[in-house]
Structures are given as C-alpha cells and as structure tokens.
C-alpha cells in the first residue's frame, strides 16, 4: 500500500489517479476526509501531521510514502514525519538520509544545469 500526503492537491490527486490505474492500493492522508472527494478505491484517513501517534497509525502497513507537504506545517514537519516513519516501519531509509532530501538546496526557480547549457548567456 502506498500512503500519499497532499492527495487532494495539484500533485497528489493526479498521482493517486495514476497509482489506481496501475493497480496500487492507496491510502490518502488528509485533514478532512469528508471533503476529500477521492475515488472509493482510496482509503481516506484523517491525519494530524503534528502528532507522532496519528502519523504512526496512518503509516501502519504502508509499503511506501509519498510525502508532499505543500502548505502543511513549518520547516521541521518533514523531518518529524520522516522520523515517525522510520520509527514505525521497517522499510524506511535512515532518517538522516531521507530528511536531507526533504529540504531543497536549490529553489525551483533556479535554472538547472542542463538548462543553463542550452540557453545562450
């Protein structure tokens, strides 16, 4: 089963649809399951991202976690969730490695190296 945060947003909703098309079991974490509007095949679960207990329960039985925290919490939220996932599931990568990937080192608006090579200066 794949747990998806941000499942009702611009990134999460198309992801959920594609996962379902490919036959994956999906659990969507949301603040308001009653307003989620997700397909019936999706297990929609109310989750409090600031509560370790809530997140440990939400992650129970998961094979993978798609962590999209746009508009949720502060800078420590991703690290907290990764720590909870690592503590509650045997499949998690080492928390420091995963947490280091949760904070971008280059803003999205920064040109990528391949783009810089293709555009004249």
CATH, residue 21: 3.40.50.720
Q: What confidence tens digit (pLDDT) does each residue in 5-19 have?
A: 888 888 889 999 999
Q: Which domain holds residue 102?
A: 2-118
Q: Can you give the C-alpha Rg of the chain in angstroms?
A: 16
Q: What confidence tens digit (pLDDT) does each residue in 54-95 have?
A: 888 888 888 888 877 666 655 666 666 666 655 555 554 444
Q: 5: helix, coil or strand?
A: strand
Q: Are strands 43-46 and 64-66 parallel, antiparallel or unpaired?
A: unpaired
Number of domains in the chain: 1
Instruction: State the Cα angle at 52 between 62 and 14, rounded to 5°.
Output: 45
pLDDT above 70 coverage of the chain, percent: 56
Average pLDDT of the chain is: 73
């Amino acid at each position: 089963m794949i747990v998806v945060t941000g499942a009702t947003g611009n990134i999460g909703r198309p992801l959920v649809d594609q996962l379902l098309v490919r036959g994956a079991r999906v659990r969507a974490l949301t603040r308001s399951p009653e307003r989620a509007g997700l397909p019936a095949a999706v297990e929609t679960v109310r989750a409090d991202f600031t509560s370790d207990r809530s997140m440990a329960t939400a992650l129970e039985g998961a094979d993978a976690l798609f962590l999209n925290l746009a508009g949720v919490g502060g800078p420590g939220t991703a690290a907290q969730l990764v720590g909870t996932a690592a503590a509650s599931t045997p499949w998690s990568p080492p928390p420091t490695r995963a947490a280091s990937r949760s904070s971008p080192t280059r803003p999205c608006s920064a040109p990528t190296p391949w783009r810089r090579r293709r555009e004249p200066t």
